[in-house]
Structure 1
Amino acid sequence: MKKLLLPIIITVLLVGCKNEDEELHFEEFFIEEVSETACNSEEENCAFISIHTPLAKPVGPRSKTINQNIEEHVLGLVDYQEMQNIGSLEELAQRFIDDYEASAEEFKEYNIPWEASVEGRIVYQSAELISLEYKVGLFTGGAHGYTSVSFLNLNPETGEVFSNKDLFTAGFNNYAEKLFRKRNNIPEDGPINSTGFFFEEDKFQLPKNIGFLKNKVILRYNPYEVASYAEGGIQLEIPLEEVEEFIKIL
């Protein structure tokens, strides 16, 4: 038996854009689902999933594209072997609980509740860029859970996702490498992996997740990306004024 809290929608943000007459409204979407299978609420050991993310109000094709990209991003964050062919955030929440309950029934001796939490927020917004940050915690058994921080950068005019190449000139990679070496005590003339990192082919690469705040740019390497789990997330925060020359869109 399951308890399902219906999605809560609250309008929180307006962004004016050029290619639609109506302003772009962002709303807070929240959904939580809890399993009562093998659940003792007094011991707080019930399996649960919660998803909190901004979504654009459906006023046109652009909003639809934005929401599709946001939902695809969130679906990719709650990523484990059973999560396939899921088309919505509601379906994601339901599938997570269903998979837990099936696992709890099949392996009763390993009754460890699963947990998933996705917290998303807009950390930067302008006529040129919408940057969202997502904090994720995921546990589906094993020695430890997994936490991550990710960013999603969207074009407000089209709703499409910006890639690193869309956002930065080629010179930003060299600048970021110098900064990374300095912050992590890696000799300038030595291999990038000489102190224990594992960049592919021993060549520095920008992280998958780069976010924008009002006054700084965040470079985020999550666990396992370039270092072991024990190292945790590796994050560089760069004042925006120091890298403005490398940014194409601002």
Structure 2
Amino acid sequence: MKTTRILLTILAAAALTACNRPVKPRFEQLTLDTLLNHPLGTCQVEYRFASIANADKSEALRIIEQSNTNYFFHLEDFEGPAEKGMEESLAQLAKELRIGDPDYASVHDMEYDTSTESEGYVIDSLLCYSIYRSDYMGGAHSNYSTEYHLYSIASGFEYTAGDFFGEEKMEALGQLIRQKLYEKYNVSDDEGLSEQGFFPGTFFVTDNFKITPDGAVFIYNPYEIACYATGAVKVEISRKELEAL
């Protein structure tokens, strides 16, 4: 009888743990390939949105899916499914390109393009979501960027660097990132970074980071801390280095 009671207690505890375990996201890709005609020419649009197919299984996943929809499609205060977000994004792009505007005539024949794709993965109780953008809308060169978003799959909360690593560690983390840049670009000080195209006076600890099994990766997009020619700046910090902060 005693053994039975113990077994029932263990089973009850296991059931409670299972009930409280956060739901892991299951991704499916929502895609779009379309060509928009506008007064200046054409614009090729490509979307590859990693949607959380089981977002209805938990409030946390619903919150995350809504946040990702707004980030991916460059929407503000939008509430609705990703499919509607895609439609809203295309409508905004058409407005920017002045499609259908009879008063906007041009003899130009420009070929524009915009491409956005995303992916997500779970590590422990965290969801790391990445968005990659590339577009050409005229000018001397194309533009590109990478966005990282880190969430708790238990609550849907999105972490900043200060939230995740601790505000009290931000100064030390900034110094570590700066030292990593010195090593990566084979310089010894800020003057050396300046010669490499950096703007040391504008340096900051970015919230644009992701967590990996080996540590963390911080990324600075073109123009954030360096000129366009320097490209995207990626800084990898090991788990051991983070623990030592």
CA separation of 1:193 and 1:215: change in aligned 2, threshold 3 A = closer
1:220 is matched with 219
CA distance in 2, matches of 1:186, 1:130: 35
Partner of 1:109: helix, strand, or coil? Answer: coil
Superposed CA deviations along residues 93-148 of structure 1, whole A, max 9, x for unmatched, are 34324543618972432232332211111244222x21112211122222222111
Partner of 1:24: helix, strand, or coil? Answer: coil
Superposed CA deviations along residues 37-57 of structure 1, whole A, max 9, x for unmatched, are 37xxxxxx6522313223252
Q: 2:135 aligns with which of 122, 135, 138?
A: 138
Q: TM-score, normalised by structure 1?
A: 0.71
Q: Which amino acid aligns with 2:233?
A: I
CA separation of 1:194 and 1:137: change in aligned 2, threshold 3 A = closer
CA distance in 2, matches of 1:104, 1:186: 53
CA separation of 1:143 and 1:61: change in aligned 2, threshold 3 A = same
Q: Which amino acid aligns with 1:53?
A: A
Q: 1:126 aligns with which of 124, 127, 137?
A: 124
CA separation of 1:107 and 1:182: change in aligned 2, threshold 3 A = farther
Shift of 1:233: 0.8
CA distance in 1, matches of 2:78, 2:101: 22
Partner of 1:25: helix, strand, or coil? Answer: coil
Contact 1:116 1:138 in 2 (8 A): yes
CA distance in 1, matches of 2:78, 2:22: 31
2:235 is matched with 236
- Mark the runs of 5 or more structure 2 residues left unpaired by the alignment: 1-16, 80-84
- Mark the runs of 5 or more structure 1 residues left unpaired by the alignment: 1-16, 39-44, 77-82
Superposed CA deviations along residues 173-196 of structure 1, whole A, max 9, x for unmatched, are 2222222222223434x5686434
Runs ≥4 in structure 1, deviation > 6 angstroms? none
Alignment size in residue pairs = 215
CA distance in 1, matches of 2:142, 2:18: 43
CA separation of 1:107 and 1:224: change in aligned 2, threshold 3 A = farther
Contact 2:161 2:206 in 1 (8 A): no
- Percent of counterpart pairs with the same letter? 17
Task: Kindly report the root-mean-square deviation, in angstroms, between the aligned alpha carbons of the 2 structures.
Answer: 3.1
Q: Which amino acid aligns with 1:112?
A: M
CA separation of 1:37 and 1:240: change in aligned 2, threshold 3 A = same
Q: 1:168 aligns with which of 150, 165, 169?
A: 165
CA distance in 1, matches of 2:182, 2:29: 40
CA distance in 1, matches of 2:77, 2:109: 27
Paired residues for 1:56-95 under 5 Å: 57-76=55-74, 88-95=85-92
Shift of 1:220: 0.8
Superposed CA deviations along residues 60-80 of structure 1, whole A, max 9, x for unmatched, are 32222111221222134xxxx
Partner of 1:47: helix, strand, or coil? Answer: strand
Q: Which has the larger radius of gyration?
A: 2
Q: Which amino acid aligns with 2:237?
A: I
Paired residues for 1:36-115 under 5 Å: 37=37, 47-55=44-52, 57-76=55-74, 88-97=85-94, 99-100=96-97, 102=99, 106-115=104-113
